[in-house]
């Protein structure tokens, strides 16, 4: 293909990527968005193959990677989707690092001068730095999300100072790399290693409650890593696609932080709820709460006119989404108006609850976001909370609370509240929840799936 034909094909692929983002903005058009993304990627890959010579190696890698990806994606449960997303982000970052290493080792084969100019070195540095941080950060996120590492913030004295020193040292090695007349592998290897360590150190102090922000942030990082490598290789497709992913991830991170009423830097620089959580939980033994059974909860919901179900991470862990659909259908058959309230940061990735409810084929019109449904809680007969904690904690309205100002689902304003939890343990923010001790609240202890199934039987 001629250079103009390649540029046109890449432009068409970019249009499909933009249409994909547009489609993915709503559950109603998400399937179409995925299709647009697949078409755009197919055009981009096919175009790239026309301008390369080593078809056999590339096709072999595509076949191997595609086969592994297909098997992994088919075997992963929807409840484990956050872990899969983090794992995929890590591969994008690692790919950026490997491409940068190859370009530094043999720049001519990438269309670059044998002696790399300053601009190319800077682009390679940025791509390597962001890619390495994305890889190690995503690995930590994967380990935390999958339970292989504690979800609690992991901190140590002088952590921020260590990060600052490492960043300064990395920049120093980067400058050495820039101003070296020949390829300075010592400087390049040192700054790459430090970037890997920084990615690790930045993510370990972030607690499970902030994982939705971490996932969207790593998504942004992976895009910028690809864009940086695209500039180095002069590949417009990488630049455009990487910029789309990077900017959309950054916007999503901002939306997540806004939903938590927290500055973005506070998420990056410290663990959520690492202070004060233990003190709040220590009062737990002095409070009394009312508990009931699944039959009691079923009776209350069956005799209500309106019910709002608030899904949380506990629903994902119990894989209760299909049982919840049965419950909603059973209540609908009795003339009860059932809707679902979604908090932007519920779960462990952006849209986690939406994904689970969509998998259970719950009608989209029944699923409402926080801003759409909050005003309806005061007029709701029963609210059923399934494994959610921090996102319904009234402490967000109390000045001085660690989560003060965080927008919450105002379930405490409903006439009756039922909470399904395994225990009275605090959420990831480490705070006790006064909602659980209100006179209007009934606790139903047990696995969310088992409890909901018992409710369906009782109805």
DSSP 351: T
H or E segment at 161? helix 159-179
Q: Where are the alpha helices (DSSP H) in 261-393?
A: 264-269, 277-282, 294-302, 313-318, 321-333, 352-359, 370-373
Question: C-alpha distances in angstroms, 396 versus 36, 368, 403?
Answer: 40, 21, 5
Q: Are 347 and 82 in contact (CB under 8 A)?
A: yes
Chain-centroid distance of CA 236 in Å reads: 27
Backbone angles phi, psi at 408, to 5 degrees: -125, 165
Catalytic residue, candidates 210, 390, 432, 454: 390
| Beta carbons within 8 Å of 44's beta carbon, 6+ residues apart | 9, 10, 13, 237, 241
User: Is 294 exposed, middle or buried, given 0-12, 13-18 or 19+ CB atoms closer than 10 A?
Assistant: buried
Chain-centroid distance of CA 275 in Å reads: 24
Q: Are 447 and 386 in contact (CB under 8 A)?
A: no
Helix, coil or strand: residue 308: strand
In the residue annotation, 390 being an active-site residue is answered as yes
- Cα separation of 341 and 284, whole Å? 27
Chain-centroid distance of CA 440 in Å reads: 34
Number of alpha carbons in the 13 Å side-chain half-sphere of residue 26: 8
Question: C-alpha distances in angstroms, 27 versus 22, 32, 84, 249, 320?
Answer: 11, 10, 20, 18, 20
Please give the structure tokens belonging to residue 46: 């096919």
The closest alpha carbon to 166, from 189, 132, 190, belongs to 190
| Beta carbons within 8 Å of 91's beta carbon, 6+ residues apart | 135
Please list the active-site residues. Answer: 390
């Amino acid at each position: 293909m001629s250079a103009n034909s390649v540029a046109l094909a890449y432009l068409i692929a970019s249009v499909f990527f933009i249409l994909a983002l547009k489609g993915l903005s709503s559950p109603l058009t998400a399937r179409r968005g995925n299709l647009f993304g697949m078409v755009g990627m197919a055009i981009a890959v096919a175009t790239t193959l026309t301008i390369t010579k080593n078809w056999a190696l590339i096709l072999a890698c595509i076949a191997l990677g595609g086969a592994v990806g297909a098997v992994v994606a088919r075997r992963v449960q929807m409840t484990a989707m956050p872990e899969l997303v983090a794992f995929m982000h890590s591969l994008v970052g690692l790919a950026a690092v490997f491409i940068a290493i190859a370009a530094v080792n043999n720049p001519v084969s990438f269309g670059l001068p044998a002696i790399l100019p300053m601009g190319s070195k800077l682009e390679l540095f940025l791509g390597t730095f962001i890619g390495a941080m994305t890889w190690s950060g995503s690995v930590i996120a994967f380990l935390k999300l999958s339970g292989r590492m504690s979800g609690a913030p992991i901190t140590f004295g002088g952590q921020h100072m260590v990060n600052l020193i490492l960043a300064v040292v990395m920049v120093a090695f980067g400058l050495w790399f820039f101003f070296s007349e020949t390829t300075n592998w010592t400087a390049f290897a040192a700054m790459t290693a430090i970037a890997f360590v920084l990615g690790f150190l930045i993510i370990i102090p972030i607690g499970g409650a902030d994982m939705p922000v971490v996932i969207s942030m790593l998504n942004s990082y992976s895009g910028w890593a690809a864009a940086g490598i695209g500039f180095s290789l002069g590949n417009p497709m990488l630049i455009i696609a990487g910029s789309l992913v990077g900017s959309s991830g950054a916007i999503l991170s901002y939306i997540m932080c806004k939903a938590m009423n927290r500055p973005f830097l506070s998420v990056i620089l410290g663990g959520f709820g690492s202070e004060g959580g233990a003190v709040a939980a220590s009062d737990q033994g002095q409070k009394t709460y009312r508990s009931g059974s699944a039959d009691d909860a079923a009776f209350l919901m069956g005799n209500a006119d309106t019910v709002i179900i608030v899904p949380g991470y506990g629903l994902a862990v119990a894989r209760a989404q299909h049982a919840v659909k049965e419950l909603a259908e059973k209540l609908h058959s009795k003339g009860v108006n059932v809707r679902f309230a979604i908090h932007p940061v519920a779960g462990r990735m952006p849209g986690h609850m939406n994904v689970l409810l969509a998998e259970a084929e719950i009608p989209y019109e029944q699923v409402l976001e926080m801003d759409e449904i909050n005003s309806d809680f005061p007029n709701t007969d029963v609210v059923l909370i399934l494994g959610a904690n921090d996102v319904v904690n009234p402490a967000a309205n109390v000045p001085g609370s660690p989560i003060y100002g965080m927008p919450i689902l105002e379930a405490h304003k409903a006439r009756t509240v039922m909470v399904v939890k395994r225990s009275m343990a605090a959420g990831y923010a480490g705070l006790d929840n006064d909602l659980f001790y209100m006179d209007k609240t009934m606790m139903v202890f047990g696995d969310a799936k088992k409890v909901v199934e018992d409710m369906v039987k009782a109805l």
